[in-house]
């Protein structure tokens, strides 16, 4: 276990503006390797490889990298090969990158795929502060692991988060605190590497990021040893047979700024080509909602020659593919754009592209084609040197594959008898609830049961049935089975619904619980204007954090906002009719203000409204629904709406849907437990855990009720858990004919 630091500074110098590295420093196990090439020098750019001694990350290793790209400079950060994450018996492996990109500068972070070994545990994060006129391309590429050894998504946990901070963007709610970017993200130009170890150098900005892309693939302890269970739990088996039919690689690319415009257009074209291979697409490549924002799409600023060159590279890449590859892209609608079209035009173009593939080389080929426009600025295209053939080679015969390794027999050191137990939440029962959870669960009186039934009633007019959670795109792309070829769809639909239920619970449960606790804490403080203002500030902070998480996933963000606005309207009317105690409660006043929030916005409808999860938690608290019941009710509503979409898409029948709905409880429980475990971990790390009981345990609800800081930190590790479904959902706006809004 080692803590390594690295710092790199790129500056433009001379009349030509050529970029040079003015600082390169590192401490083991981190290392920086400048890569000087003639083509890069001619382009006026610099390349630098990030690595670690030994070519991988051991359990407990921590790598901190700070980068600063000066005005007009161009810096490409890459790796020499894939980053291997070795298995661990306890400590978590961490790697973090903090970068500041100045005006007119370009940062490209394009590492090779992560290769997480079985039972590995990794947390990685990238935070980029983008000054006006700056540009960034940040790639997060994840592989399934050592597939030939029988390890397919078999790691214990992988959490990856990318944050984008736009310096100079307007504050997004009354509680936002302006902070100096370099002080908040860590000054990469510091002369003392040890200073980077100070917590103040790596704390997150007091100002919330405009965009957050997060994924967390975490598995219960009792299934951490299964070689390929992760492929089923996280939806990588969707549309394919078990084994070779699974998706084995996924990538998320955050693109921002004018110097990334050609890459945004390349991903637009790649998404169109990807969808057009199986379905009919719309004529326009950008969603209707984006056109209302008053900002030109990337392709509208490219010349015909540039657009033709980008299209030729993308077409050549798709012609060389061997496996099933899907590309989705969302043009991020950032929360500060609610100031109106003028603010939208002045802000940076930001897009998030997602790619999944059943063969790792195919994913690399698509990334290389879509990032090829950077060649003129970098001297070489990212990932271009990783391709050595005109097309992806055919896979070896099935019987020629390497047999799975028996780790308990080969390595007694790591065998089950000698490995200490992994610290996890108590194992779940068959119905998803632990014995302790059943004992601690509060009983609901008749009135509370009635209110809970109304809250999850499908007749509640929130518009949930207008959204398919990506199922419509999945069907049109033939990943639920091809009915024209007689393929059976039941297994594929069940796998997709289970992955969707787990991912939704993993992402939203912490927000429901924190919003619920915020309302209860405000009610306990009494009713006055100051308390209401504090509650609104905290609740708006939570809603903004969720908005940042969904900013790069436009269909999901639209669905959440539309349903949140509708639920706020329903909740206000409901509480008004619930008697004096409900009508005068802090929750009622909060929902009244939340209902009025969309009307006060002058932005496009895609930005209007508040999010469903935060409204749901506040309403459940105002209705005196216990926090555990509120979290499970929200998970139930999400799973039910997705299953209803499957029925209307003629994928399952109503009777079969009853069986499926019963089976989805276990998947949703996994997501809830993972979210609770992440919240507990974050609270403990922040030193906010309450005093434990006599048996050494403490309740999450007690920690959330005791501290505003705990409620805000609890959502820090909220993330989606189904990369394939997120990619397919992003394709929804490209479909020519659509039954659902999203």
In a shared domain, residues 382 and 480: no
Is 375 in the same domain as 480? no
From 444, 359, 135, 419, select the one nearest 262 (Cα to Cα). Answer: 135
Give the span between the Cα atoms of 469 and 648, in whole angstroms.
13
Check whether residue 120 and residue 240 sit in a common domain: yes
Provide the 8-state DSSP code for 517. Answer: H
Task: Report yes or no on 432 lying in a domain.
Answer: no
Choose one of 368, 386, 404: the last residue of a domain.
386
Could you tell me if residue 414 is inside a domain?
no
* Host H or E run for residue 270: helix 261-276
Last residue of a domain, one of 386, 414, 443: 386
Q: Based on the structure, what is the number of domains in the chain?
A: 2
In-domain check, residue 394: no
The predicted structure's pLDDT at residue 527: 67
> Do the domain assignments include residue 216?
yes
Q: Would you say residue 671 lies in a domain?
A: yes
- Residue 174 maps to a domain: yes
Output the pLDDT for position 93: 93
C-alpha–C-alpha distance, residues 569 and 283, integer Å: 36
Per-residue pLDDT, averaged over 26-35, amounts to 91
pLDDT mean over 565-585 = 85
pLDDT at 606: 43
Give the mean pLDDT of 98-110: 96
| Predicted local confidence at residue 185, as pLDDT | 39
Residues 166 and 305 grouped into a single domain:
yes
Rounded Cα–Cα distance for residues 226 and 242 (Å) = 14
User: Looking at the structure, do residues 382 and 520 belong to the same domain, yes or no?
Assistant: no
Q: How far is CA 336 from CA 210, 245, 511, 596, 603, in A?
A: 8, 42, 21, 18, 10
Q: Which of 386, 421, 443 is the last residue of a domain?
A: 386
Q: Which residue has the higher pLDDT, 208 or 405?
A: 208
Q: Using one digit for the tens of pLDDT, what is the confidence trace for 66-91?
A: 999 999 999 999 998 899 999 888 88
pLDDT at residue 205 greater than cutoff 50: no
Is the backbone peptide bond immediately before 29 cis, with ω within 30 degrees of 0? Answer: yes
487 in the same domain as 347: no
Q: How confident is the model at residue 530 (pLDDT cuts 50, 70, 90)?
A: confident
Average the pLDDT over each of 278-287, 315-324, 528-537, 605-614 and give the range with the smallest value.
Answer: 278-287
pLDDT tens digit sequence for 382-420: 999 998 777 776 655 544 444 444 434 443 333 433 333
Tell me how far apart the alpha carbons of residues 361 and 376 are, in angstroms, rounded to a whole number: 24
Quick one: pLDDT band at residue 10, thresholds 50, 70, 90? Answer: very high
The beta strands (E) that lie in 199-259 are given as: 211-218, 249-256
Q: What is the CB neighbour count within 10 angstroms for residue 434?
A: 15
Report which secondary-structure segment, H or E, holds 106. strand 106-109
Alpha carbon distance 602, 318 (integer Å): 41
Residue 396 lies in a domain: no
pLDDT for 236 equals: 87
Classify residue 442: in a domain, yes or no: no
Give 710-728 pLDDT, tens digit per residue: 999 999 999 999 999 999 9
pLDDT in tens, 336-383: 555 454 444 445 689 999 999 999 999 999 999 999 999 999 999 999
Half-sphere exposure of 317 (CA within 13 A, CB side): 32
**Statement to judge: residues 378 and 477 lie in one domain:** no
User: Which domain does 601 fall in, by range?
Assistant: 473-734
Same domain, 361 and 510: no
């Amino acid at each position: 276990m080692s803590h390594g630091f690295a710092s790199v500074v790129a500056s433009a110098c001379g009349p030509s503006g050529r970029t040079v590295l003015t600082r390169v420093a590192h401490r083991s196990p981190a290392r920086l390797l400048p890569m000087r090439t003639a083509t890069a020098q001619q382009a006026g750019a610099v390349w630098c490889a990030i690595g670690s001694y030994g070519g991988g990350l051991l359990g407990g290793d921590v790598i901190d990298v700070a980068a600063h790209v000066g005005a007009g400079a161009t810096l490409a950060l890459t790796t020499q090969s894939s980053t291997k994450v070795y298995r661990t018996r306890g400590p978590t492996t961490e790697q973090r990158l903090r970068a500041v990109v100045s005006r007119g500068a370009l940062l490209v972070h394009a590492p090779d795929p992560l290769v997480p070994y079985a039972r590995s545990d990794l947390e990685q994060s990238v935070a980029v502060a983008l000054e006006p006129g700056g540009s960034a391309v940040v790639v997060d590429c994840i592989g399934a692991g050592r597939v030939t050894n029988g390890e397919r998504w078999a790691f214990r946990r992988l959490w990856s988060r990318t944050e984008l901070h736009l310096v100079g963007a307007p504050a997004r709610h009354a509680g936002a605190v302006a902070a100096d970017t370099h002080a908040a993200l860590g000054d990469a130009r510091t002369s003392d590497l040890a200073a980077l170890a100070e917590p103040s150098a790596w704390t997150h900005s007091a100002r919330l990021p405009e965009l957050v892309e997060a994924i967390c693939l975490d598995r219960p302890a009792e299934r951490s040893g299964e070689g390929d269970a992760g492929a089923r739990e996280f939806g990588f088996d969707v549309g394919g047979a078990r084994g070779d039919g699974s998706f084995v690689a996924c990538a998320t690319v955050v693109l921002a700024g004018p110097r990334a415009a050609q890459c945004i257009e390349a991903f637009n074209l790649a998404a169109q080509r990807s969808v057009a291979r199986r379905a009919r697409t719309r004529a326009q490549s950008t969603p209707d909602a984006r056109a209302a924002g008053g900002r030109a799409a990337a392709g509208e600023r490219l010349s015909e020659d540039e657009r033709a060159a980008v299209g030729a590279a993308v077409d050549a890449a798709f012609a060389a593919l061997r496996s099933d590859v899907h590309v989705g892209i969302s043009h991020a609608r950032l929360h500060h754009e609610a100031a109106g079209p003028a603010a939208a035009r002045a802000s940076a173009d930001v897009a998030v592209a997602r790619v999944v593939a059943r063969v790792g080389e195919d994913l690399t080929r698509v990334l290389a084609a879509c990032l090829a426009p950077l060649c003129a600025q970098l001297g070489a295209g990212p990932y271009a040197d990783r391709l050595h053939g005109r097309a992806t080679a055919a896979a070896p015969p099935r019987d020629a594959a390497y047999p799975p390794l028996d780790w308990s027999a080969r390595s007694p050191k790591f065998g089950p008898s000698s490995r200490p137990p992994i610290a996890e939440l108590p194992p779940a029962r068959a119905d998803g609830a632990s014995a302790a959870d059943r004992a601690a669960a509060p009983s609901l009186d008749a009135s509370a049961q009635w209110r809970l039934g109304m809250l999850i009633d499908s007749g509640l007019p929130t518009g949930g049935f207008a959204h398919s959670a990506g199922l419509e795109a999945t069907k049109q792309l033939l990943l639920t089975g091809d009915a024209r070829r007689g393929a059976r769809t039941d297994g594929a639909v069940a796998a997709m619904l289970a992955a969707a239920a787990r991912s939704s619970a993993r992402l939203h449960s912490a927000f429901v619980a924190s919003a619920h606790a915020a309302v209860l804490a405000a009610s306990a403080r009494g009713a006055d204007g100051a308390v209401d203002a504090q509650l609104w500030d905290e609740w708006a902070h939570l809603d903004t954090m969720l908005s940042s998480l969904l900013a790069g996933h436009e269909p999901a963000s639209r669905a959440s906002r539309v349903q949140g606005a509708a639920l706020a309207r329903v909740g206000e009317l409901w509480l008004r009719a619930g008697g004096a105690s409900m009508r005068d409660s802090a929750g009622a006043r909060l929902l009244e203000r939340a209902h009025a929030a969309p009307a006060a916005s002058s932005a496009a409808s895609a930005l209007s409204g508040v999010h469903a999860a935060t409204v749901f938690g506040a309403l459940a608290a105002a209705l005196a629904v216990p926090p555990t019941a509120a979290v499970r009710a929200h998970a139930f509503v999400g799973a039910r709406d997705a299953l209803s979409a499957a029925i209307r898409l003629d994928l399952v029948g109503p009777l079969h849907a009853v069986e499926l709905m019963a089976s989805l409880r276990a998947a949703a429980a996994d997501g809830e437990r993972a979210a609770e475990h992440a919240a507990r971990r974050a609270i403990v790390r922040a030193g906010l855990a309450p005093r434990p009981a006599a048996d050494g345990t403490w309740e999450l609800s007690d920690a959330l009720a005791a501290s505003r800081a705990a409620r805000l930190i609890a959502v820090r590790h909220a993330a989606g858990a189904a990369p394939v479904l997120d990619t397919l959902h992003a394709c929804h706006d490209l479909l020519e004919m659509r039954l659902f809004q999203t």
